[in-house]
Structure 1
């Protein structure tokens, strides 16, 4: 797909504290290149995520979304010149990845394995489970949980270490529509409470528009387009600003905005305020 300069947004020149309440940079990516054999996945990618900022990343399959996420998570080493992350990083994946032989509480406490005493780890785990509404499930086994409950445990585990950067790798894609809406509300509530920088990787345009402060489209290994969303959460497709941005996002993804797509035709109303 050819990059469209009409959608290009210059990188802002920000100070440590911005007008929208975001804080200092928690992740800075500069001219990041990644190749696998003769396949060039990331081609000089630039990106900054600041504390308290919620960023959604869209792109066609093979555009480099997963490679970027792995780099930010430290799973794919990069030089300090290419990538710097300040503070702790946590990831919630598409699959909850809970250990079936450990209780829910123990799964959450695993994120603190190298941290404080066992008693304190359990206290933190219980507090995190309370935040996602699963206090009564702390002694349950993962296989007894519903899909939505398992993802709540995954979120509790990701947030228990109080990360500066939270990476969400399509964590809602396997959930039904109503559970997705509930999870959207929960994620926004947790984000407002803890204020990490968030990078959400998703294929769902409406999900990105419902949750993010900033929406990016990745194409040919670079950020090809980005939009800032000033509309308060609780957004609907009928809002003129959201509708206009949605059209531009679909165009940047190479999708005809007039073509119905079951993954992008749901209302963006997530109930998240």
Structure 2
């Protein structure tokens, strides 16, 4: 893996055999400690091929730690994650290299006959064709995140890990990015794990929402609604209340 390249995980097939044709990731008994503190406590998770999973949890609950373990960026854990196929990550910060053009950032480390052509095709998918030759510092926040997504998707990952990639965006840009991610997911069908603090974001995007509590998956809610979804749908209102309660948030209008 190309650790040290910002936001990039070199696409590489896992050393071991695929766990199942139906799953791109399977974790059993994953444990992570920082000194005397256990952050992840024998976590069990499965992500099916083409499934969109959201992971919620309070700050410091270990969400990003779990994502990094799945990405292979943190191997100091007990219980090795079993990931089948290629993995890409988009982080909260786009992590674009400022002295490389946008297309060159997308093609960074890409093993292809024509990396630039592959990068420009990926940029077209995220509607950044005109910015292919631009410098990263000239991009807006939303455009930079689109470039980050293009860099992840150009590797045609089996598992796409999203570490709060929309949290720094304004509300309107976030809505646009949600629609874009769903469109790209529909076309490429990777398994997705989205780490987020935003309950509404999780409910609008995911097939299944997990809540990380005390180092374990303390709650799981399937979201069996067609997309696009609307926040005022009765089932989403009920699920939102349940998830907020698990996160220790008192609903508005109550004591």
Same fold (TM over 0.5): yes
Structure 1 residues 199 and 236 mapped into 2: Cα distance closer, same or farther (>3 Å)?
same
Q: Please give the secondary structure, in 2, of the residue aligned with 1:225.
A: strand
| Residue aligning to 1:253 | 247
| Residue aligning to 1:205 | 199
Identify unmatched segments of 5+ residues in structure 2: 1-19
Q: 1:116 and 2:123 equivalent?
A: no
Q: 1:218 and 2:212 equivalent?
A: yes
Deviations 1:76-97 (A, max 9, x none): 1167953100011100000000
Q: Distance in 1 between matches of 2:41 and 2:140?
A: 40
- 8 Å Cα contact 1:60-1:253 kept in structure 2: yes
- When the two structures are superposed, what TM-score results if normalisation uses the length of structure 1? 0.83
Q: 1:152 and 2:133 equivalent?
A: no
1:231 to 222, 225, 230: 225
Q: 1:127 and 2:127 equivalent?
A: no
Q: Distance in 1 between matches of 2:109 and 2:176?
A: 24
Q: Please give the secondary structure, in 2, of the residue aligned with 1:223.
A: strand
Q: Please give the secondary structure, in 1, of the residue aligned with 2:107.
A: helix
- 8 Å Cα contact 1:111-1:158 kept in structure 2: no
Q: Distance in 1 between matches of 2:112 and 2:237?
A: 48
Deviations 1:146-173 (A, max 9, x none): 1100000000000000001000010001
2:94 to 55, 77, 96: 96
Structure 1 residues 111 and 194 mapped into 2: Cα distance closer, same or farther (>3 Å)?
farther
- When the two structures are superposed, what TM-score results if normalisation uses the length of structure 2? 0.89
Please report the RMSD computed on the Cα atoms of aligned residues, expressed in angstroms: 1.5
With 67-76 and 78-87 compared, the bigger mean Cα shift is at 78-87
| Residue aligning to 1:174 | 168
| Residue aligning to 1:263 | none
Deviations 1:119-150 (A, max 9, x none): x1111101100000011111100001011000
Q: Distance in 1 between matches of 2:109 and 2:152?
A: 7
- Number of residues paired by the alignment? 235
1:48 to 42, 46, 49: 46
| Residue aligning to 1:107 | 105
Structure 1 residues 62 and 80 mapped into 2: Cα distance closer, same or farther (>3 Å)?
closer
